[in-house]
């Protein structure tokens, strides 16, 4: 008979795991998300900058996004963005975001999303957050950060043009205004006249320095009259191909990624958020890579610019194409979670995790 070795209750061994408990699980509504983020544009831009630096330093895991597509609904998709972010407040998680363009005609937003945050130590989900606001916020903060860093050393744009006038365009304008950008002229162009008119009304109600606001009938007019061009469309393939429209060398925030033909990309200085992520899924930079068979047209990443490894020229069009990194959603989502928890307003779902004993 073999007697098993036992350890007295008063002693522990180096191999014994530290006791852990499952964290409470909370649900955070869109209203709570918006309350935690509204008016804090500069703070969120700083958070996004810090996250880009962590990602650039290799302190993140950001796998490829996973696209769920539908043969019977070719314009629609749902995307999964898993990620893990290190640093002083590590967090893991997943954004699950859908894009159904036909929603707009039905009177509801195109995109909807949730963000799941997982505890870094146990892997247990901490919270489910409404994430369309988080997604728009991190996108807008990234755009505002890029606009600031990529305009250093060149005249700061005073004329901005918005190509596409949905939620993302509105958030980008909010973040530009919230980080002290002022414009003499704001241009607007959208394939939907109603959307363009609605965005103009929004601009008239929110712009503080009374800029001249113009709704342009054509993409060419918008681009030629803008020093900062924001593409925020739902385009699935390039629709802007005339290089001469960019002869004045504007700064282009190519947020929607698929608007520019390869010849536009190849004629510009190109900055991305992450090379491997951006050069896939038939984005404009991906098409440029397929056209040339190489990546020499890329100058580097936004982190390279911030770290001084890449200098942006003054005499060329500069295009920033951000694929959108899941680590940014995690950083902003964790910020929201902490703010809601600090306020004592977390809606905890009691007994969400039920089977917590190994043997019942």
Tokens for 301, please give them: 């990443």
pLDDT score of 214: 98
Average pLDDT over residues 61-74: 94
pLDDT tens digits along 234-273: 898 999 999 999 999 999 999 999 999 999 999 999 999 9
pLDDT tens digits along 305-358: 999 999 999 999 999 999 999 999 999 999 999 999 999 999 999 989 888 787
Average pLDDT over residues 62-79: 94
| pLDDT at residue 8 greater than cutoff 70 | no
Least-confidence region, from 83-87, 140-144, 355-359:
355-359
pLDDT score of 1: 34
DSSP letters along 127-138, please?
EEEE-HHHHHHH
Q: Is the dihedral of CA 6, 9, 12, 18 positive or negative?
A: positive
107 vs 109: CA distance, rounded Å: 7
Q: What average pLDDT does the chain have?
A: 93
Tokens for 149, please give them: 């860093």
Q: Residue 274: CA atoms inside 13 Å, Cβ hemisphere, count?
A: 24
For residue 112, the tally of other CB atoms under 10 A from its CB is 18
What domains can you pick out in the chain, each with its CATH number? 26-134+327-348 (3.30.1780.10), 147-324 (3.40.50.720)
pLDDT score of 7: 36
360 vs 356: CA distance, rounded Å: 8
pLDDT score of 5: 36
Tokens for 96, please give them: 């699950």
Q: pTM for the full model?
A: 0.91
287 vs 260: CA distance, rounded Å: 10
pLDDT score of 14: 53
Which residue blocks in the chain are alpha helix, DSSP H? 30-37, 41-56, 103-106, 132-150, 167-178, 193-206, 219-224, 262-266, 275-278, 284-292, 302-306, 326-342
Average pLDDT over residues 74-79: 93
């Amino acid at each position: 008979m073999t007697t098993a070795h036992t350890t007295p209750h008063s002693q522990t061994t180096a191999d014994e795991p530290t006791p852990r408990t499952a964290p409470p699980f909370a649900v955070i509504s869109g209203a709570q998300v918006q309350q935690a983020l509204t008016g804090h544009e500069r703070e969120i831009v700083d958070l996004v900058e810090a996250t880009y630096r962590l990602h650039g330093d290799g302190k993140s895991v950001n796998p490829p996004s996973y696209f769920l597509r539908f043969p019977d609904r070719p314009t629609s998709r749902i995307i999964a963005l898993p990620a893990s972010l290190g640093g002083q407040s590590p967090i893991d998680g997943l954004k699950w975001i859908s894009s159904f363009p036909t929603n707009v005609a039905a009177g509801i937003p195109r995109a909807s999303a949730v963000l799941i945050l997982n505890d870094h130590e146990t892997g247990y989900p901490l919270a489910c957050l409404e994430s369309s606001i988080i997604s728009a916020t991190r996108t807008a903060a990234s755009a505002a950060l890029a606009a600031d860093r990529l305009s250093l050393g060149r005249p700061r744009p005073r004329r901005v043009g918005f190509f596409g006038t949905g939620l993302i365009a509105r958030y980008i304008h909010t973040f530009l205004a919230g980080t002290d950008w002022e414009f003499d002229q704001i241009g607007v162009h959208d394939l939907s006249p109603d959307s363009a008119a609605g965005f103009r009304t929004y601009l008239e109600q929110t712009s503080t320095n009374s800029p001249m606001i113009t709704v342009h009938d054509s993409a060419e007019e918008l681009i030629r009259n803008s020093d900062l061009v924001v593409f925020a469309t739902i385009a699935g393939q390039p629709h802007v191909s005339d290089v001469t429209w960019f002869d004045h060398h504007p700064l282009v925030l190519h947020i929607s990624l698929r608007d520019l033909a390869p010849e536009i990309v190849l004629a510009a200085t190109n900055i991305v958020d992450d090379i491997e992520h951006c050069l896939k899924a038939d984005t404009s930079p991906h098409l440029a890579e397929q056209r040339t068979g190489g990546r020499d047209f890329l100058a580097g990443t936004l982190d390279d610019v911030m770290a001084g490894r890449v200098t942006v020229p003054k005499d060329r069009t500069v295009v920033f194409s951000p694929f959108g990194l899941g680590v940014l959603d995690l950083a902003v989502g964790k910020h929201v979670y902490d703010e809601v928890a600090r306020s004592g307003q977390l809606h905890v779902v009691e007994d969400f995790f039920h089977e917590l004993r190994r043997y019942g």
